Structure 1
Amino acid sequence: MDAILKRRAAAVLTKNEAQFLADVDPKNAKLVAAQKVLFENLVQFGFVKLNYLQDRPQFEQKLIDKYGPTTYLVSVVMSYQIGGIDDQLVKAPLGYMFVQRGGRYLLINDTYMDSALPIGAHKEAWDVGPVLVRRGARALVVVERGKAGLAKSILADAESAVRAVNKLWSANWRGGGLVIALDDKVVRTADYTKPKDAEDFLAVATHVYRTLPGEVQAEGEDGGAYVIVNPRYRDELDARVLAHEFTHVATAPYGPDAPRWLVEGTAEYVEQLPMDGERDLDLARYRRMIRSKYLNKVKALPADPVFYASMDSSYPIGWYAVDYLVDKYGATKLAKLYQELARQGFSQNQRDLIMTAQLGRTEAQLFADLKKR
């Protein structure tokens, strides 16, 4: 089984379709066709590393009864690194079913275990149908096969967005931006069949993992993120939207514990920076509007539990706080503060300790500074 999985990974890296299909049941025409599409998709992504590794064999008597005693059901870890995108190896879970025929094992099913896998598993961009992949220096765009014009347009915006993010995170972000802009409404952990998500979000950054959920900790350890575009708003996508989401991509490996006002405020800050192909924004006017319309009416920075319930005010106030931090302390200090809070800001007391050590003030004192700005 290890040899079969090793052959499949090597086939992708060497672009050898015959080798990739050699261990697939040739009598299952539907599976062979699906695996052929999968191979054609995978070879476009530019993996620099790829391995399929056995995780845990499973036993179900009904499968033995149906397919015979050689049936082998196993969870599999796809460990990979896309060149120019992933700055480390990341992982995705799969499930395969094999059976022995004619003295050798053949793949007969790769979807049976999907319902037992974590949410978003086996829904990667290469899993959803024929795709077209276009690459820039540090950006990758995925669209339906045949939509080359759309890919070219999104790629130009993506490369502009990468440069904007790099202005703030140049010392820390070595990866790139992967943008998935497909007709499918469910890709990875993005689900645009949900009415609220379909209405509210142009795009969302979905985490990729260096350790899978349950492997080391319950949630899994973040290794980055890929951006999934809402099909409903695909024509409204621009460099600023992607810069916002790529900021989440760049900061995902730091950890999950930074306050929401800092997470979204930083992404908003990058979104508003001068950017190739986008007109400069009147930020002085934006500051005045935030002070009069939002800041003067609240008594604290938006708390995590209510941040997304009041997005109209939470996002601008978060931006205003980050804008102040960069203006007073500089981008390097902001980046260091973000990293420490993301790693260890799991409580208000802990956040205040970190902020006092970094800035000499608590979150409440920072808010007081904003009111006096």
Structure 2
Amino acid sequence: MAGQGVRRPPRATAAGSAVLLAVVLTAASGCAQQPPPRTRFPEVQRMLDARARAVRQHDEAAFLASVDPVRPGYRDRQRRAFRTLKELPLTGWRYDLVATDAFPLASGGNTMAAKVELRYRLKGFDAEPVTSVQYLTLTRTSGRWRIASDEEGAASGHAGTRQLWDQGPVAAVRGRHALVLGDAGDRGRLTDLARRADAAVPAVTAAWKGRWSGQVVIEAPGSVAGMAQLLGSGDPSAYAGIAAVTTGEAGAQAKAPADRVIVNPEAYADLNDAGRAVVLSHEITHVATRTATTGDTPLWLSEGFADWVAYRGRRHAAAAAAPELSRAVATGHPPQRLPADADFGFTGGADRLARAYESGWLACRMIADTWGEAKLRAFYRAAGGVPTGEGHAGPGARSGTPSPSSPSSSPSPSPSSGAGAGPSAGAASGGDDSRGGGADGTGRRVVGGHPAAPAPGAVDDRRTAVRNARLDTVFRSQLGLSAGQFTKKWRAYLKSALT
């Protein structure tokens, strides 16, 4: 207000304020510059370094020295895990301490709730490391930190990732293009997976035509619970109908982490021969297209393309391969739009999920039929913002869910059977012919699926609008028509193909 004087504090008060301000700024600066946990707790990181070195040097005594001796049960499990590790082509094994108060601990005193990142590579298959998170209870006795448990975080939702070797004895079966890891007591199943992967990889390469490693690692746990543990989940029921999952990290980057295809032993076993071939081809396509798949790639395109590759060269009538969509068209309720990312979530029900996969598959098939396969591949790369001819990362290129979510895993559900086989979707429906095959003989109703797909309203509306506008530009530049015009053409294609 004009003419009003400014009241100045007494000198002592002003000085006190200055001191207080300096303290606040120093504290804030100290927080901002706080060193990482591995630096603040060097003795813990040294223990983890020694443990990693023991794995690399196959030194069991040194490895067990990192385990609390008063926990005999955990120590025995660790001994068995270590002996399994010696059979695997591991390299680059290391641990990093990333948090020291990661979950609630009932006990106090000399204990620590540690979050640890494990990084490792499989020699000959991984150009970049796999990273998994472990939640470990550490105890300090006689001046030394040791690991006492890897289970106490689960009660608060901090289950972490339990690798195959943490679950029991592991065998490795190597094919020309695949390394299959799984339950040592079921080597026949692992050998069959390697054989099927060896057949699928060349077919995927021929369809994609982009450079990728041409190598895939498949993990075959002995149970659905083991599958959930590999994916860092404490809820096996979420994967009950999923035949296979591809872990991955979307993005066109040269150093994408290594992919893993994880097979559900129960849902996969319910498929017939053709269904198993389709599932593996679908998942391996995700691996091949990893670096061309970004947050801009809609799920209908990434999943539809994977199904298009899986069905390419197979003689399947569209109506038999897309039973849910066929029923919708026959009853006068065809889809009005291409599926949104949220349609690929598991919470909407198996029928909705199947329609989403079938819709994406037929959209990609229409592009290939109308504009040609080369244009479909170019459209895929352009939708992800990757220039034509790029979208590859050499060895270890990785694939999976292009959704902005993503846990290090991007599941691809199981094919189940029912009246027919549907492109990659998720929940097995398990009709009477679930083992023998549906109308097209694949024994599957759906194959893919994204439990991590955003629920309706979870994705920011503005971001979605920007992505849709960008995709419309890609439609115009690649196919010569708008997104709306493409959708109209696709709806007509559905009616023609499914009736």
- Residues 178-200 of structure 1: per-residue CA shift (max 9 Å, x gap): 32322322223377842x742x4
Deviation at 1:201, TM superposition (A): 2.7
CA distance in 1, matches of 2:63, 2:340: 50
* Structure 1: gaps (5+ residues): 211-220, 275-280
Q: Alignment partner for residue 228 of structure 1, among 248, 262, 270?
A: 262
Q: Alignment partner for residue 166 of structure 1, among 202, 205, 224?
A: 205
**Aligned-pair Cα RMSD in Å:** 3.5
The question of whether the paired residues in 1 share the 8 Å contact of 2:135 and 2:160 is answered with no
Q: Give the 3-state SS of the residue equivalent to 1:326 in structure 2.
A: helix
Shift in alpha-carbon separation, 1:36–1:170, aligned structure 2, 3 A: farther
* Amino acid aligned to 1:241: V
Q: Alignment partner for residue 165 of structure 2, among 122, 126, 148?
A: 126
* Amino acid aligned to 1:174: S
After TM superposition, the structure 1 stretch with the greater mean CA deviation from structure 2, 144-153 or 330-339, is 330-339
CA distance in 2, matches of 1:126, 1:156: 23
Shift in alpha-carbon separation, 1:295–1:24, aligned structure 2, 3 A: same
* Amino acid aligned to 1:324: M
Aligned to 1:357: 477
Which has more strand, going by share of residues?
1
Aligned to 2:50: 7
CA distance in 2, matches of 1:97, 1:124: 17
After TM superposition, the structure 1 stretch with the greater mean CA deviation from structure 2, 342-351 or 39-48, is 342-351
After TM superposition, the structure 1 stretch with the greater mean CA deviation from structure 2, 229-238 or 31-40, is 229-238
The question of whether the paired residues in 2 share the 8 Å contact of 1:51 and 1:80 is answered with yes
Aligned to 2:121: 81
Deviation at 1:115, TM superposition (A): 4.5
Aligned to 1:34: 77
TM-score normalised by L of structure 1 = 0.78
CA distance in 2, matches of 1:343, 1:261: 11
CA distance in 2, matches of 1:97, 1:292: 53
Q: Give the 3-state SS of the residue equivalent to 2:261 in structure 1.
A: strand
Deviation at 1:236, TM superposition (A): 4.1
After TM superposition, the structure 1 stretch with the greater mean CA deviation from structure 2, 343-352 or 164-173, is 343-352
CA distance in 1, matches of 2:90, 2:284: 20
TM-score normalised by L of structure 2 = 0.60
* Equivalent residues in 2 for 1:157-196, closer than 5 Å: 157-174=196-213, 176-186=215-225, 187=227, 188-189=230-231, 193-194=236-237
Deviation at 1:20, TM superposition (A): 1.6
* Over 6 Å off, 4+ runs: 287-296
* Structure 2: gaps (5+ residues): 1-43, 346-350, 387-401, 405-462
CA distance in 2, matches of 1:32, 1:18: 12
CA distance in 2, matches of 1:27, 1:203: 39
* Amino acid aligned to 2:97: Q
Aligned to 2:133: 93
Shift in alpha-carbon separation, 1:152–1:113, aligned structure 2, 3 A: same
Deviation at 1:172, TM superposition (A): 4.2
Aligned to 1:336: 381
Is 1:202 the equivalent of 2:240?
Answer: no
Deviation at 1:292, TM superposition (A): 7.4
Deviation at 1:154, TM superposition (A): 1.3
CA distance in 1, matches of 2:479, 2:188: 47
Q: Percent same amino acid among aligned pairs?
A: 26
CA distance in 2, matches of 1:123, 1:170: 35
Which has the higher relative contact order, 1 or 2, with Cα contacts under 8 A spaced 6 or more apart? 2
Shift in alpha-carbon separation, 1:55–1:289, aligned structure 2, 3 A: closer
- Residues 54-75 of structure 1: per-residue CA shift (max 9 Å, x gap): 112229785334xx4xx34421
- Residues 205-229 of structure 1: per-residue CA shift (max 9 Å, x gap): 244699xxxxxxxxxx974542332
Shift in alpha-carbon separation, 1:170–1:124, aligned structure 2, 3 A: farther
CA distance in 1, matches of 2:235, 2:156: 22
Q: Considering only CA atoms, is the larger Rg found in Structure 1 or Structure 2?
A: 2
CA distance in 2, matches of 1:115, 1:175: 40
Is 1:310 the equivalent of 2:352?
Answer: yes
* Amino acid aligned to 2:268: R
CA distance in 1, matches of 2:234, 2:484: 36
CA distance in 2, matches of 1:350, 1:115: 43
* Amino acid aligned to 2:361: W
Shift in alpha-carbon separation, 1:338–1:324, aligned structure 2, 3 A: same
CA distance in 2, matches of 1:359, 1:162: 29
Q: Alignment partner for residue 337 of structure 2, among 285, 293, 300?
A: 300
Aligned to 1:286: 318
